[in-house]
């Protein structure tokens, strides 16, 4: 059967100060029964995404100690970056991997939230499968207004945190934690520096779609006064336009369920929509790790020959077809969850 394993992917609001990132990762490496699989540093996002796998108790300990270091070293009053964020430790999800359940990870997220809020007096929101109301299931809803709007948000009864005080702590902000399935963070770069064009593509493909507007640019509302939305192409997909660097806009995506919407499907759609705008998709990147099956499906799509069963050939077809090797070398043994765990 093997060990009971869970994954944790904490996102820290620091991607520029190497000394801070090193202290955070070193604190994780000191925890027994935990493997640090990946450290993805984004300079323009000013954000670092860390992937940890291990036994449930060890992963919880690693999440707590790394959070403690980040809270001590990161000052949100000085933070700026492209990515949406509301705290020094922005989001801490727990994911079932092997012989573990969603209920196990919900419990871990609740224990994490209680310990961190009690120890540091920081507001913590529960999201995804840990959410206690439908309004808090989606991370973008909790994060709306970001750090700059957090003080006002905390003053509203409807946004009272699940753990900790309704107090704005300027240095640290707030944290979201929850349990979810494996999420694929995937970005496609475009040959433009116009973020609005990336946002147009994102609006067409994401599940939530776009808000319908009349010929004068005003929002169209239903009988209850709510904006009418035009649904996007795909289910279980979040997307937005961001900047990869000052010269490159990107469509930044979260694939919430790759068995519903796959990497190859969103890649082909972004390329098509880019062509319609006179643009080209130049490269792609994964933030963190990706499930093996998602890459296998992409490789079979781009190869087109279902008779090929050699995993290495299929994975290379996926890498080439998705454009994952255009920014830097893509190493399957480091970037695919199952292969990284074996390694």
Q: Same domain, yes or no, for 257 and 160?
A: no
Q: Same domain, yes or no, for 222 and 331?
A: yes
Mean pLDDT of 267-273: 98
Task: Tell me if 212 sits within 8 A of 228, measured CB to CB.
Answer: yes
* C-alpha radius of gyration, the chain, whole number: 20
Q: Same domain, yes or no, for 175 and 189?
A: no
DSSP characters for 221-267? B-TTSPBPEE--S-SSEEEEEEEEETTEEEEEEEES-TTTS-HHHHH
Q: What is the model's pLDDT at position 174?
A: 97
Q: Same domain, yes or no, for 172 and 253?
A: no
Nearest to 208 by CA among 268, 143, 141, 270: 141
Catalytic site includes residue 301: no
Binning the chain into helix, strand and coil, the percentages to the nearest 5 are: 40, 25, 35
Q: What is the model's pLDDT at position 2?
A: 65
- The pLDDT-based confidence of 289 (bands split at 50, 70, 90) is confident
Q: Same domain, yes or no, for 203 and 159?
A: no
One of 83, 258, 264, 301 is an active-site residue; which one? 83
- The pLDDT-based confidence of 288 (bands split at 50, 70, 90) is confident
Q: What is the model's pLDDT at position 220?
A: 85
Would residue 134 be called left, alpha or beta, if left means φ above 0 and alpha means ψ between -120 and 50 degrees?
alpha
Q: Same domain, yes or no, for 172 and 233?
A: no
Residue where a domain stops, chosen among 179, 200, 225: 179
CATH number at residue 155: 3.30.990.10
Give the domain range for residue 85.
Answer: 5-179
Q: Same domain, yes or no, for 335 and 192?
A: yes
The count of domains in the chain is 2
Report the first-to-last Cα separation within the chain, whole angstroms.
18
Structure tokens at 66: 């790394």
Q: What is the model's pLDDT at position 125?
A: 98
Measured distance CA(270)–CA(286) in Å, rounded = 15
């Amino acid at each position: 059967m093997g060990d009971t394993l869970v994954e944790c992917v904490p996102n820290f609001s620091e991607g520029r100060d190497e000394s801070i990132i090193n202290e955070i990762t070193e604190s994780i490496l000191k925890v027994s029964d935990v493997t640090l699989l990946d450290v993805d540093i984004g300079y323009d996002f000013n954000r670092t995404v860390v992937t940890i796998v291990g036994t449930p108790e060890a992963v919880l300990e690693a999440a707590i100690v790394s959070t403690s270091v980040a809270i001590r070293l990161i000052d949100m009053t000085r933070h700026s970056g492209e990515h949406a964020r509301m705290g020094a430790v922005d989001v801490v999800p727990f994911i079932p991997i092997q012989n573990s359940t969603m209920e196990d990870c919900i419990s871990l997220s609740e224990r994490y939230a209680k310990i961190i809020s009690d120890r540091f007096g920081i507001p913590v929101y529960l999201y995804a499968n840990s959410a206690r109301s439908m309004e808090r299931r989606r991370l973008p809803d909790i994060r709306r207004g970001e750090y700059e709007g957090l003080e006002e948000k905390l003053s509203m009864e409807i946004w009272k945190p699940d753990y900790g005080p309704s107090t704005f702590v300027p240095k640290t902000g707030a944290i979201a934690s929850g349990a979810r399935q494996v999420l694929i963070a995937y970005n496609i770069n475009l040959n433009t520096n116009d973020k609005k064009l990336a946002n147009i593509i994102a609006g067409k493909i994401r599940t939530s779609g776009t808000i319908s507007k009349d010929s004068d640019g005003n929002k169209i509302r239903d009988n209850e006064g709510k904006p009418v939305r035009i649904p996007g192409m795909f289910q279980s997909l979040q997307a937005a336009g961001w900047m990869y660097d000052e010269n490159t806009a990107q469509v930044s995506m979260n694939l919430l369920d790759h068995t519903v919407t796959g990497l190859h499907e969103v890649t082909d759609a972004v390329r098509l929509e880019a062509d319609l705008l006179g643009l080209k998709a130049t490269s792609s990147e994964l933030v963190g790790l990706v499930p093996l099956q998602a890459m296998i499906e992409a490789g079979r799509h781009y190869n087109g020959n279902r008779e090929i069963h050699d995993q290495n050939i299929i994975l290379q077809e996926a890498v080439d077809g998705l454009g994952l090797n255009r920014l830097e070398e893509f190493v399957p043994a480091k970037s695919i969850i199952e292969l990284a765990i074996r390694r």
